[in-house]
Amino acid sequence: MPDCLAPPPRDSRTKIVATVGPACDSEDKLAELITAGVDVFRLNMAHADHCQQDIRLAMIRRAAARVGRTVAVLVDLAGPKMRLGTLPAGQLLCQRGDRVRFVRGEAADASATNASATAAQASNGVAVPTTATTPDLTTTYEPLIDELSPGDRVMLADGTVSLVVEQVDKDSAVCRVIQSGLIRSRQGVNLPGVKLSVAAMSDLDRENAVWAAKNDIDFVGLSFVRRAEDVRELKALLMASTNDPTSGGPQVIAKIEKPEALDALTAIVAAADGVMVARGDLGVETDIAQVAVVQKRIIAECHRQRKPVIIATQMLDSMQHSRIPTRAEVADVSNAILDGADACMLSGETAVGEYPRETVEMMNRIALAAEPLCSHRAEEANSFCGSRESNKTGCSTAANSLNPITEAVVCQAGLLAERLDARLIIVASASGATALSLAKNRFRVPTVGVSDSAATLRQMCLYWGVIPLASAPVNDSRTLVAFVRDWGKQNCLLSSGDRIVLIAGTGTSVSKHNMIVVNEVE
């Protein structure tokens, strides 16, 4: 038994993902965020190179060791994100009715390209507005002109500026502004409804994925997923690049932000290890009025397939510059939790915001207020666990390979723990699948997950209500219970007379988890 046991977990069950950036770019600040409640740190590969991310990853791991808590890391691949080129004045005010022209090439070549495009259109008898009223725009997406057609929509500046394509020739596309706004150099470009030929991963994305696998990263986020094959391609690359093939490599989080992804949602969720509802681009690529409805649909599919789901973008956005969020933001986070989100993600709030620690603490407070109302999900699970169908097949689906005996034992252990008013459920899990099953059933009793795999423990950081406990003895049930008992007493989670439910196994080949043991703390 180690002399120093792990510190207590925070009280809420919903996991918190925080983006690393200048606002928390030190070991001390990262340690503060872990203490405040961060479970997973996100490294955005669109904003730093490998050398910078090496430094951040080392700081995260030192901070976690200092606090004494298991923390996971999510590497977010940039994907085929289209951005504007450099604007002559750095910005451009687009008024309704104005026309702009997308041309090939970079900004330095725009004038020459525009001249040839204008000449070509004029020679074909096409009326072309003068360059004085038709500013030229370039993008980082080379085949843009080839993939646009008259009538297509182009969204700029996170959807605040909307254009419609009027004319297209081989070198340019003229668009009319239908929603006014200010655009700036390097801002994002979205093409709702346009099916792009670009691959899901660029060469740089592949390099970043290999870097993630070589550095034992826990999760890799795949941006702009359009089909299940995109996920499988990334998984194969990660498996081929990982230092430990037996671990399976980093888990893949599919980011849902394209209409094509919604069309193939069931297959994408089945292929992925988890899902992120990336509401930023999702709200631009689809009708913004549908974002909340789509979010509920994605969460429901993830629950059906027993996959963790992260809700992202603008959750507490105003806290970048305010110590207190808006009432609407609090309601948004609460409703995401009530819908069944496993985790909520902070982006600019912790990356560049003025109050990163306060934002994490607020997220934790909101979760604590909302989670008592999640009992209806536990009741739904209880009803299913007791059904005749579940006794035959467990709660597993085709997308979940957990042994049906193990799944049934998990269901009954959760029911028993609630009926006995137990304080903790303990499960030792080599892959984490059993711990994830407990998380998706939303039992009211917290789960302590232990494993002899450090990677599995870190992946448990994304599972709702699961407390990963390092250094626990996993091969002897009696010693394991004593270890958790001492840890629980030290952190005021357990006292004499409290009950602990252990999901254990008899060692048979049929199932590793086929036995439930109830212990009472002396």
82-190 to CATH, choices 3.30.1330.90, 2.40.33.10, 3.40.50.720, 3.20.20.140: 2.40.33.10
Question: How many other β-carbons are positioned within 10 Å of the β-carbon of residue 466?
Answer: 28
Closest among 12, 5, 6 to 446, alpha carbons compared: 12
Say which CATH superfamily domain 386-520 falls into. Answer: Pyruvate kinase, C-terminal domain (3.40.1380.20)
What tokens does 362 get? 């607020």
Residue 506, pLDDT score: 73
pTM here?
0.88
Residue ranges, comma separated, of all CATH 3.20.20.60 domains in the chain are 15-79+200-370
**Strand pairing class (219-222; 499-504):** unpaired
Closest among 75, 69, 76 to 457, alpha carbons compared: 69
Distance in angstroms (rounded) separating the CA atoms of residues 96 and 308 = 42
Distance in angstroms (rounded) separating the CA atoms of residues 387 and 395 = 10
**DSSP state at residue 289:** G
Q: In 133-284, where do the E strands start and end?
A: 136-137, 153-156, 161-168, 172-179, 181-184, 188-190, 219-222, 251-256, 274-278
Question: How many other β-carbons are positioned within 10 Å of the β-carbon of residue 289?
Answer: 8
User: What CATH number has the domain spanning 15-79+200-370?
Assistant: 3.20.20.60
Chain centre to alpha carbon of residue 332: 17
Residue 126, pLDDT score: 42
Residue ranges, comma separated, of all CATH 2.40.33.10 domains in the chain are 82-190
The string of DSSP letters for 329-394 reads HHHHHHHHHHHT-SEEEESHHHHT-S-HHHHHHHHHHHHHHHGGGGHHHHHHHHHHHTSHHHHHHT
Per-residue tens of pLDDT for the chain, all 522 residues: 444 456 667 789 999 999 999 999 999 999 999 999 999 999 999 888 999 999 999 999 999 999 999 999 999 999 888 889 999 889 999 999 999 999 997 643 444 444 444 444 444 444 444 444 679 999 988 899 999 999 999 999 988 999 999 999 999 999 999 999 999 998 989 999 888 888 889 999 999 999 999 999 999 999 999 999 999 999 999 999 998 887 789 999 999 999 999 999 999 999 999 999 999 999 999 999 999 999 999 999 999 999 999 999 999 999 999 999 999 999 999 999 999 999 999 999 999 999 999 999 999 999 999 999 886 555 555 544 644 444 443 443 333 567 788 889 999 999 999 999 999 999 998 889 999 999 999 999 999 999 999 999 999 999 999 999 999 998 889 999 999 999 999 998 999 999 999 998 876 544 578 899 999 998
What tokens does 159 get? 């959807």
Distance in angstroms (rounded) separating the CA atoms of residues 340 and 310 = 10
Residue 46, pLDDT score: 87
Residue 189, pLDDT score: 93
What tokens does 434 get? 């059993």
Residue 513, pLDDT score: 84
